[in-house]
């Protein structure tokens, strides 16, 4: 019965009992099923009840496929299990749970992460603005199948607009444009110390057919200067893949020949038949003003019984007069002993003729003797003395 001690109760009709019964007053609140947290009709408190998974679509709380704990999962896997769309309904981010793929700007990702972008913007951008300590690193780690040797899959691949591979980076450090058979012949390998061995030394390692080339035009134009491998221990330098300007074979160097017969072999081949061509040049220039005695030479060194690279011979050329308009030069041939150089012959010029001297004697012009019976022994001796070939005791 209503009265003291029954505050908050009301009489309600119980149709099954056919009588009025005393029940707690509900303030007019209706049972909203799966909604909880209702102490009054303030709907801002509404939450889905524990275990409830289905909500109305197109609302702020659209959990058609459900939320379980901190993770999201679909009711069933599909190629479009979750999409973030723009206002027009175009997929911007697509989650393919059937194939474990994520697509950005594509509703049909073909790879683990498939980014397809249109417009004149970067497709992907990585940046760390933190001063001094900021680091930006993109890591591509190979699986067990990316081991050294033929058939390894690249961890980074570059393709042209037709989807054809044009370059790749492999897990063992290989950077190449094409894979030839089981060996990477057309390739460049950058090898670090941890991967170095006798077969794969540290540094830049070129394939047997790789070319280092330069041209005066665009990078893709024909090369006018190249360096290529000819064979084991041989490097070609020339204007084509075969090389023509020179070669390095073991310890021999050839300029103009691919088959040097000496340690240094210079060869000029042209169409000339009756002219002297300078094949090699030895020069000496100065940042100052050259004066008498300024010159250059070709030195010959030999190893003695105890010491390497000892002076043995010298062909030297120097100015007698260095003034350009009236310059005259000397060429001298010397041999060395344990004390110093010993000049054996010199050729001087005086502006009109060659002068000759022996044994470090001053060079003189050609000696003239009287013809016939007019030439005496003394005349001949004097001529020889002038040249330095003889001297009086």
Residue-wise pLDDT tens digits, 99-120: 999 999 999 999 899 998 877 7
Q: Predicted confidence band at 32 (pLDDT cuts at 50, 70, 90)? A: low
Cα→Cα distances 297→12, 219, 294, Å: 128, 41, 11
SS3 301: strand
* Whether residue 248 has pLDDT greater than 80: no
> Residues with Cβ < 8 Å from 219, sequence gap 6 or more?
none
Of 171 and 376, the one with more pLDDT: 376
pTM of the model: 0.52
Phi, psi of 380 (to 5 degrees): -65, -45
Adjacency order of strands within the sheet including 165-170: 154-159, 165-170, 174-176, 187-191, 203-206
- Average pLDDT, integer, range 125-139: 77
How far from the centroid of its chain's Cα atoms is residue 237's Cα? 21
In sign, the C-alpha dihedral spanning 345, 350, 354, 356 is negative
| 84 HSE (CA, 13 A, CB side) | 6
Question: Of 53-62, 193-202, 381-390, which has the strongest mean pLDDT?
Answer: 381-390
Which pLDDT score, from 0 to 100, does residue 180 have? 40
Say how far apart CA 174 and CA 154 lie, in whole Å: 9
Most confident of 23-27, 39-43, 246-250, 251-255: 251-255
Q: Under 8 Å CB-to-CB from 329, ≥6 apart: which residues?
A: 295, 317, 318, 319, 320, 348, 349
Cα 238 to Cα 321: distance, rounded to the nearest angstrom: 40
Give 256: exposed, middle or buried? Use CB within 10 Å, 0-12, 13-18, 19+: middle
| Dist. CA 200–CA 178, nearest whole Å | 19
The CA distance from 35 to 32, in Å, is 6
Tell me whether residue 136 is exposed, middle or buried, using C-beta atoms within 10 angstroms of its C-beta: 0 to 12, 13 to 18, 19 or more: exposed
Q: Which of 263, 350, 329 is nearest to 300 (CA)?
A: 263
Token pair of 20 as six digits: 């009025």
**Are the C-beta atoms of residues 187 and 167 closer than 8 Å to each other?**
no
Q: Which residue has the tokens 């006798």?
A: 198
User: pLDDT confidence of 371, banded at 50, 70, 90?
Assistant: confident
Q: By the 8 A CB rule, do 240 and 248 touch?
A: no
Instruction: Assess whether pLDDT exceeds 90 at residue 299.
Output: yes
CA distance 168 to 257: 37
Distance CA 103, CA 148 (A): 31
Residue 215, both tokens = 């041209």
Q: Tell whether the model's pLDDT for residue 241 goes beyond 80.
A: no
Residue 103 near residue 91, CB atoms below 8 Å: yes
Quickly state the pLDDT bin for 256 (edges 50, 70, 90). Answer: confident
By 3-state DSSP, what share of the chain in percent is helix, strand and coil, each rounded to 5?
Answer: 5, 35, 60
Q: What is the band of 319 on the pLDDT scale with cuts at 50, 70, 90?
A: very high
Cα separation, 153 vs 80, whole angstroms: 29
Tokens encoding 140: 């591509």
Cβ atoms 223, 214 nearer than 8 A? yes
How far is 373 from 359, CA to CA, in rounded Å? 30
């Amino acid at each position: 019965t209503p009265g003291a001690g029954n505050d908050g109760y009301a009489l309600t009709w119980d149709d099954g009992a056919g009588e009025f019964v005393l029940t707690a007053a509900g303030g007019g609140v209706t049972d909203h099923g799966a909604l909880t947290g209702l102490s009054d009709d303030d709907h801002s408190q509404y939450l889905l009840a524990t275990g409830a998974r289905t909500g109305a679509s197109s609302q702020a709380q659209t959990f058609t496929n459900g939320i379980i704990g901190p993770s999201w999962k679909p009711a069933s896997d599909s190629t479009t299990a979750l999409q973030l769309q723009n206002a027009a309904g175009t997929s911007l981010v697509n989650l393919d749970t059937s194939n474990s793929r994520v697509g950005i700007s594509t509703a049909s990702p073909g790879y683990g992460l498939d980014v397809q972008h249109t417009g004149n913007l970067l497709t992907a951008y990585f940046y760390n603005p933190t001063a001094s300590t900021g680091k930006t690193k993109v890591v591509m780690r190979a699986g067990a199948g990316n081991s050294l040797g033929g058939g390894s899959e690249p961890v980074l691949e570059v393709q042209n607009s037709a989807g054809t591979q044009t370059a790749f980076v492999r897990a063992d450090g290989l950077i190449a444009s094409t894979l030839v058979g089981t060996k990477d012949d057309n390739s460049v390998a950058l090898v670090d110390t941890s991967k170095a061995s006798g077969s794969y030394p540290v540094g830049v390692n070129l394939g047997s057919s790789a070319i280092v080339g330069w041209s005066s035009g665009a990078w893709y134009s024909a090369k006018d200067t190249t360096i290529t491998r000819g064979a084991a221990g041989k490097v070609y330098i020339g204007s084509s893949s075969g090389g023509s300007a020179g070669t390095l074979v073991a310890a021999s160097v050839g300029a103009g020949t691919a088959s040097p017969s000496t340690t240094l072999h210079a060869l000029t081949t042209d169409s000339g038949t009756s002219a002297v061509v300078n094949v090699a040049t030895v020069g000496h220039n100065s940042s100052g003003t050259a004066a008498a005695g300024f010159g250059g030479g070709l030195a010959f060194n030999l190893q003695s019984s105890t010491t390497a690279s000892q002076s043995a011979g010298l062909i030297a050329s120097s100015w007698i007069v260095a003034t350009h308009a009236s310059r005259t030069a000397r060429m001298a041939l010397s041999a060395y002993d344990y004390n110093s150089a010993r000049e054996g012959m010199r050729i001087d010029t005086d502006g009109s003729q060659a002068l000759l001297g022996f044994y470090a004697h001053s060079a003189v012009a050609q000696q003239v003797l009287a013809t016939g019976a007019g030439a005496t022994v003394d005349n001949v001796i004097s001529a020889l003395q002038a040249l330095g070939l003889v001297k009086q005791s």
